Amino acid sequence: MRRLAIVGLGLIGSSIARGARQYGLADTIVAIDADAGVRDRVRALGLADHVTGDAAEGVAEADLVILCVPVGAVGAVAAAIEGRMKPGSVLSDVGSVKGSVVAAVAPVLSAGVAFVPGHPVAGTEYSGPDSGFSTLFSGRWCILTPPEGTDEAAVATVRRLWEGLGAIVETMTPEHHDLVLAITSHVPHLIAYNIVGTAADLEAVTQSEVIKFSAGGFRDFTRIAASDPTMWRDVFLTNKDAVLEMLGRFNEDLAALARAIRWGDGEALHDLFTRTRAIRRGIVAMGQETAEPDFGRGRPAPAAPRNDP
């Protein structure tokens, strides 16, 4: 495309900018961020051709605008650029909740502008423009949730961008997306936040012991629980129906597991662990995780992602 505008240069936004530059996906990249410190860093890293804090000015001539802001802020940003995007352009986003995003953007969407919501299922626990890297989306899924009646050419434009960044693109309805992500991402994050908080609050265990004796399972929970607090606060508030539905099912299954332990039902435990092991192997087989039993921890620490575009 000729001009790509990215609103929000955190992990996802800066990775899109790096990938678009490296793979030649846009002639001009515009970086838009309300934080002056982030803008200064984006300039220093050379991530964009034009950097501004004025969203309305930044999107004016863009062919595609991607909102890389917390889902709770998408509606406000969409309202701020209403009427400033040119006819025929496309608006998208990267939020991990889609139903609330569609509801927030639809009332303020400019005439002649297509909205194609998106969600790259990729990331790390780090944030900020320095944390991005061009291969973040390589081999990862990106889910598009275009509302009914969306122009197919607009969907194709967004699809080309993500495929150009190395992602595997899937399309589904916003409602189905939110249900799927509630169990595959949102509830696991909620559990991680909770179990790390519980361990930190235990009166019989000091915080130093929690850190010192962290076994692999708890250590992996802490990685998830280190994710951006603002982003995940908004996720749970905007996808609460699906999260509560999945959380209710989880609580029922957890109660059954507790009964099996209480009554010494080893067969039930073994059957559950066998089924869950198969899920893990399926994820590895699809290339979404490494098969190494130590997740690469036995190797020397990898070099930090390069900060050049």
Give the residue extent of every domain in the chain.
3-172, 176-263
The sheet with strand 114-116 has its strands ordered as 50-52, 28-32, 3-7, 64-67, 90-93, 114-116
Shortest CA distance to 139 belongs to which of 177, 172, 170, 165? 165
Lowest mean pLDDT among 1-10, 196-205, 259-268: 196-205
Please answer whether residues 238 and 97 qualify as being in contact, where contact means their C-beta atoms are separated by less than 8 angstroms: yes
Whole-model pTM?
A: 0.79
Please answer whether residues 15 and 130 qualify as being in contact, where contact means their C-beta atoms are separated by less than 8 angstroms: no
Structure-model confidence comparison of residues 210 and 303, the more confident one: 210
Fold match between domain 3-172 and domain 176-263: no
| Residue 165 CB neighbours (<10 A) | 24
Work out the pLDDT band at 208, boundaries 50, 70, 90. low
What is the three-class DSSP state of 285?
helix
Structure-model confidence comparison of residues 260 and 279, the more confident one: 260
| Structure token pair of residue 299 | 């190797």
pLDDT at res. 62: 96
Q: What burial class does residue 29 get, using C-beta atoms within 10 Å of its C-beta: 0-12 exposed, 13-18 middle, 19+ buried?
A: buried
pLDDT at res. 282: 72
pLDDT at res. 138: 93
| Mean local confidence (pLDDT), 30-55 | 96
Structure-model confidence comparison of residues 26 and 217, the more confident one: 26
pLDDT at res. 26: 96
pLDDT at res. 300: 39
Structure-model confidence comparison of residues 304 and 48, the more confident one: 48
What CATH number does the domain located at 176-263 have? 1.10.3660.10
Please answer whether residues 17 and 31 qualify as being in contact, where contact means their C-beta atoms are separated by less than 8 angstroms: yes
Q: Which residues contact 111 (CB under 8 A, 6 or more apart)?
A: 87
pLDDT at res. 59: 96
Q: Check pLDDT > 50 for residue 308.
A: no
Q: Which of 159-173, 209-223, 290-304 has the highest mean pLDDT?
A: 159-173
Query: What is the DSSP pairing of strand 141-144 with strand 118-120?
Result: antiparallel
pLDDT at res. 24: 96
pLDDT at res. 101: 94
Work out the pLDDT band at 225, boundaries 50, 70, 90. confident
Structure-model confidence comparison of residues 93 and 278, the more confident one: 93
Query: What is the DSSP pairing of strand 114-116 with strand 118-120?
Result: unpaired
Residue type, 127: S
Q: Which of 45-54, 126-135, 175-184 has the highest mean pLDDT?
A: 45-54
Shortest CA distance to 100 belongs to which of 78, 72, 130? 72
What CATH number does the domain located at 3-172 have? 3.40.50.720
| Mean local confidence (pLDDT), 158-186 | 94
Angle between helices 240-262 and 266-285 (to 10 degrees): 140
| Mean local confidence (pLDDT), 73-92 | 94
Structure-model confidence comparison of residues 280 and 249, the more confident one: 249
pLDDT at res. 100: 93
Q: Which residues on neighbouring strands pair with residue 171, listed in sequence order? A: 144
Q: Check pLDDT > 90 for residue 111.
A: no
| Mean local confidence (pLDDT), 88-109 | 94
Q: Check pLDDT > 70 for residue 298.
A: no
What is the maximal distance between C-alpha atoms in the chain?
66
Shortest CA distance to 166 belongs to which of 25, 6, 8? 25
CA distance 67 to 12: 10
What value does the CA radius of gyration of the chain take, rounded to a whole number of Å? Answer: 21
| Mean local confidence (pLDDT), 245-262 | 92
| Mean local confidence (pLDDT), 184-200 | 85
Please answer whether residues 10 and 39 qualify as being in contact, where contact means their C-beta atoms are separated by less than 8 angstroms: no
Work out the pLDDT band at 220, boundaries 50, 70, 90. confident
Q: Check pLDDT > 80 for residue 234.
A: yes
pLDDT at res. 301: 39
What is the three-class DSSP state of 95?
coil
